[in-house]
Amino acid sequence: MGAAFLYPVETPPAKVLQMEAMPIPAHRPQTEKLTMKKLSVELEALRSQVQEMEQQLERKLESALEKAAARLKTRIESRGAPSHGTSIDAEQRQQRIAEEAYLIAERRGFEGGDPGQDWIEAEMAVNGRLMEESSPGKPAPRGK
């Protein structure tokens, strides 16, 4: 009699045992496969979106650097390049600054920051190195 209390009154014990022994329906693994396939497709779409956003960010950064370089070149040409006793021309200096600005942005993972500020920091770093190269161990000569 104690066993009768383990099963609902409507369901005889033989039917319960039979239901417990039933295999998992065949449609369930297909549903899981479809779900995994759908998730895989969505993941690939997200990866494509991220890659596109990275490319857009890189193009914007390059554009900002080119604009900053053009403004700086115009400023240098209008004022005349400062003389530090080095044999580097304005275009080479600009290239070094652009590379340094890129490295600054790269170090922070191209996240946040200001390309204009990166350019200014790069300019200071390059100018400092050029001054050291022009006369190691003594101050750089001043222009006339």
Assigned domain for 6 exists:
no
- Angle at the Cα of 105 (from 112 to 100), degrees rounded to 5? 150
The phi-psi region of residue 100 (left if phi > 0; otherwise alpha if psi is between -120 and 50; otherwise beta) is alpha
Assigned domain for 22 exists:
no
In this prediction, residue 4 carries a pLDDT of 47
In this prediction, residue 3 carries a pLDDT of 47
Task: Give the number of domains in the chain.
Answer: 1
Q: Which domain holds residue 141?
A: 28-78+87-144
Residue 53 tokens, joined: 């956003």
In this prediction, residue 11 carries a pLDDT of 52
Assigned domain for 57 exists:
yes
Assigned domain for 103 exists:
yes
Model-level pTM? 0.37
Assigned domain for 10 exists:
no
In this prediction, residue 118 carries a pLDDT of 92
Please list the ranges in the chain whose pLDDT falls under 50. 1-5, 7, 16-17, 81-82, 84, 140, 143-144
In this prediction, residue 132 carries a pLDDT of 82
Assigned domain for 52 exists:
yes
In this prediction, residue 20 carries a pLDDT of 54
The helix-helix angle for 115-134 and 27-79 (nearest 10°) equals: 50
